[in-house]
Structure 1
Amino acid sequence: MNKRSFTITGFVLFFLCLPDSLPAAAQYKPAAPSELGHPVAIVLMAVITGLLIAIAILGSAVLSSMDIYRERVKNGQRKTIVPIVLLVAGLLSSNSLLAQDETPVQQTVVHNIVSGLSDTSLYLMLSVVSLEILIIFSLLYTLRVLLGIERKKKMAVPGKRVVHWFERLNKTKTLDAASEVEEDMGHEYDGIRELNNPTPPWWRWSFYCSIVFAFVYIWRFQIAHSAPSQLEELAIAEADAKEAKEEYLKNAANNIDENNVTLLTAADDIAGGQKLFSTSCAPCHGAQGQGVVGPNLTDDYWLHGGQVKAVFTTIKYGVPEKGMKSWKDDFSPKQLAMLTSYIKSIHGSNPPDPKEPQGALEKE
């Protein structure tokens, strides 16, 4: 294989290595097909496609410049440096992406950076864009080396003003008294003259892009309705917040103990406590809490304290020496709180045939 064939082969292998990363990309397909229609996904896919076209054009230019490079450089060893570097870079980029197959796929995040687009898909497309930009810079640098283009320092010419980069960006220029006459628009008011001061190019292009964005926005939200409106997004956010709150309260209910228990006043909680009392506590304390074997729970006398935390502690740990079992293994913390709240709710109900008072008097 001659040196020219080896050089071209190096570049060809570099670009052939890029499709090897497709299996890794397949692992990060969006969970729902609708993600392909997301505006951010559409923009990123368009950018990816445009960068691929630029890579193809630059790659063709690099291959075409090999003849110029061979004529300019006579050292045969340097002819193979660039393709070898590109070949290694292509292999490393391919292997780094293929190595992602061995990494377990993370679970879907509830709150995504872009609503309607999974974080995995967003990061994947941004990574592809970054990789393509890196390849484009590498190809530009390679093309500059092959063609022998060197950066030339600008020398100040006597009598010629050096244009600042900010002026080039805005296409403006500093005017003196003589040049102001040429740029005068002929309008004057209160001693202020209007000069020819056009809008900077970056401002105009930003304005043009905003017009395009406005058309896309109106079509998507007002005509096609392919994306949720602000009210719909609010409803979705409220539904997610309600679900998260219910999940939090569900988990928080199991964190109740004798130190943080509070009196429950909701009708469902009291009804649930009454059901638990009827099936588990009524045989000893009576159906209405009037007391049978156990003490009366409706009067002002308590053997082990009548405050909410004291009643909760008594139910949870029991009083084994007096025949009352511990209920912590039978009921959840929320159920213990419901049972405590029901017992407090029947205080002062004065049921028939109450048992004599027992314990110390505690007035609420």
Structure 2
Amino acid sequence: MNLRQLIILTAGTLLSVPAFAEGKPQPTELSDPVALVLLTVCGGLLIAIAILGNAVMGAMDIFRERMKKDAGKAVITTGIILLGVLSASNASASDALVETATNGILSKTSLWVLVTVILLEILVIISLLFTLKHLVGIQRKRKPKKVAVPGKPRISWMEKINKTRTVDEASEAEEDMGHEYDGIRELNNPTPPWWKWGFYFSIFFGVVYLWRGYVSETAPTQLQELAMAEEKAAAAKAEYMKNAANNVDENSVKQLTATDELEAGQKLFISNCAPCHGPQGQGVVGPNLTDDFWLHGGKINDVFKTIKYGVPEKGMKSWQEDFSPRQIALLASYIKSIHGTNPPNPKAPQGDKE
């Protein structure tokens, strides 16, 4: 089994997933942006291989003439040609893989197979380039050594990266583009390479983002990401507020005035406090909670403390094991809200007036 058969067999096994399961269409490899990018690269490399292969075939005539003149290098050159031809023969395997990969769902193993095929195609292209170079007898030109010119400015590493250079007054005239605006002259100073490559990358990123977000819908768009982030933040805030509400005590409690909070406090009062203080706070066994007199203080902090720790010597239990700090705050706020309501049959005042 050669390399071509192995790749086709592996890809066929890994990517042969049915497109329908239980009557519902399943996502195919075409909906995976990674698969599309890899398949596009495979196709582009195949085109490059075909063009280079055609060029190699056309260079065979030049090679035959060189063989007649220089028989000593025939063995080495023939070996290079054989390497290029053998590599090119494996290119058809990637073509079969491209056709096979479009029928399945991309898996981790399939991804590595596609990457391996791309690397093999790159090796094929390199082999064909070396083969073409030896066939036509291309020799690398050596760059002449630069000799420092007295008085010429030295090029810094930043200028080398940006491919810019500092010029003197005479050279500046040569680079003048002939455009002048408000005394500022335009020189022939090309855009730095890193900027151009960054621009090309942004185009590539935009195409991938457009496909994933709006065509295949395999990734959230920025608005969807914002909505998900806001939803997550709202849940985190609600959890925080829930915990923060239970961090209140008799020293930090504040009177609550919201309607829903007072209603929640009223329900707690009726189900737990009414037997001793009456359903309207008028007082039964316990004191009247609607008048101006208080046994243990009438401020919100005092009421919270009385509910929390109770008054065991007078028969009132501590409620801190039954209620959370938030619930005690609701109860205390409701008790403060019924002050001055004057319910029927109120109990006689007890305690000190406040």
Structure 2 matches for 1:85-96, cutoff 5 A? none
Q: Which moved more, 1:293-302 or 1:273-282?
A: 273-282
Rg larger in structure:
2
Whichever residue aligns with residue 294 of structure 1, its letter is: G
- Map Cα deviations across residues 18-65 of structure 1 (whole Å, 9 max, x no partner): xxxxxxxxxxxxxxxxxxx799xx99xx9xxxxxxxxxxxxxxxxxxx
- Corresponding residue number in structure 2 for 1:237: 229
Correspondence for 2:216 among 204, 215, 224: 224
SS in 2 for 1:220: helix
Correspondence for 1:331 among 323, 327, 330: 323
Provide the C-alpha distance between the structure 2 equivalents of 1:192 and 1:219, rounded to a whole number of angstroms: 44
- Map Cα deviations across residues 326-349 of structure 1 (whole Å, 9 max, x no partner): 222222212211221221222222
Correspondence for 2:257 among 261, 265, 278: 265
1:296 aligns with 2:285: no
Q: Which moved more, 1:191-200 or 1:181-190?
A: 181-190
Provide the C-alpha distance between the structure 2 equivalents of 1:343 and 1:286, rounded to a whole number of angstroms: 12
* Superposed displacement of residue 297, structure 1: 1.0
1:250 aligns with 2:237: no
Q: Which moved more, 1:291-300 or 1:322-331?
A: 322-331
Corresponding residue pairs, total? 215
For structure 1, the residue ranges without an aligned partner over 5 or more in a row are: 1-36, 47-153
- Corresponding residue number in structure 2 for 1:282: 274
Correspondence for 1:197 among 178, 189, 192: 189
- Map Cα deviations across residues 298-332 of structure 1 (whole Å, 9 max, x no partner): 11111111111111111111222222222222222
Provide the C-alpha distance between the structure 1 equivalents of 2:181 and 2:319, rounded to a whole number of angstroms: 91
* Superposed displacement of residue 211, structure 1: 2.3
Provide the C-alpha distance between the structure 1 equivalents of 2:300 and 2:338, rounded to a whole number of angstroms: 13
* Superposed displacement of residue 176, structure 1: 4.1
Provide the C-alpha distance between the structure 2 equivalents of 1:332 and 1:188, rounded to a whole number of angstroms: 77
Provide the C-alpha distance between the structure 2 equivalents of 1:319 and 1:184, rounded to a whole number of angstroms: 95
Instruction: Give the alignment's TM-score, normalised by structure 2.
Output: 0.52
Correspondence for 2:341 among 331, 338, 349: 349
Provide the C-alpha distance between the structure 1 equivalents of 2:301 and 2:182, rounded to a whole number of angstroms: 82
Provide the C-alpha distance between the structure 1 equivalents of 2:245 and 2:286, rounded to a whole number of angstroms: 28
Contact 2:33 2:212 in 1 (8 A): no
Provide the C-alpha distance between the structure 2 equivalents of 1:334 and 1:261, rounded to a whole number of angstroms: 9
Contact 2:33 2:211 in 1 (8 A): no
1:214 aligns with 2:206: yes
Correspondence for 2:161 among 152, 157, 169: 169
For structure 2, the residue ranges without an aligned partner over 5 or more in a row are: 1-31, 42-144
* Superposed displacement of residue 249, structure 1: 1.9
SS in 1 for 2:273: helix
* TM-aligned CA distance change 1:172 to 1:248, over 3 Å: closer
* Superposed displacement of residue 188, structure 1: 6.6
* TM-aligned CA distance change 1:307 to 1:221, over 3 Å: same
Provide the C-alpha distance between the structure 2 equivalents of 1:300 and 1:190, rounded to a whole number of angstroms: 84
Provide the C-alpha distance between the structure 1 equivalents of 2:345 and 2:259, rounded to a whole number of angstroms: 27
SS in 1 for 2:234: helix
- Once the two structures are aligned, what percentage of the paired residues are identical? 65
Q: Which moved more, 1:200-209 or 1:221-230?
A: 221-230
- Map Cα deviations across residues 213-239 of structure 1 (whole Å, 9 max, x no partner): 232233333433433333323322221
- Corresponding residue number in structure 2 for 1:305: 297
Contact 2:266 2:334 in 1 (8 A): yes
Provide the C-alpha distance between the structure 1 equivalents of 2:288 and 2:183, rounded to a whole number of angstroms: 99
SS in 2 for 1:341: helix
Provide the C-alpha distance between the structure 1 equivalents of 2:180 and 2:267, rounded to a whole number of angstroms: 90
Provide the C-alpha distance between the structure 2 equivalents of 1:204 and 1:176, rounded to a whole number of angstroms: 27
* TM-aligned CA distance change 1:188 to 1:247, over 3 Å: closer
Whichever residue aligns with residue 275 of structure 1, its letter is: K
Provide the C-alpha distance between the structure 2 equivalents of 1:169 and 1:299, rounded to a whole number of angstroms: 85
Whichever residue aligns with residue 329 of structure 1, its letter is: E
Contact 2:33 2:208 in 1 (8 A): no
* Superposed displacement of residue 178, structure 1: 4.9
Contact 2:303 2:332 in 1 (8 A): yes
Provide the C-alpha distance between the structure 1 equivalents of 2:261 and 2:186, rounded to a whole number of angstroms: 78
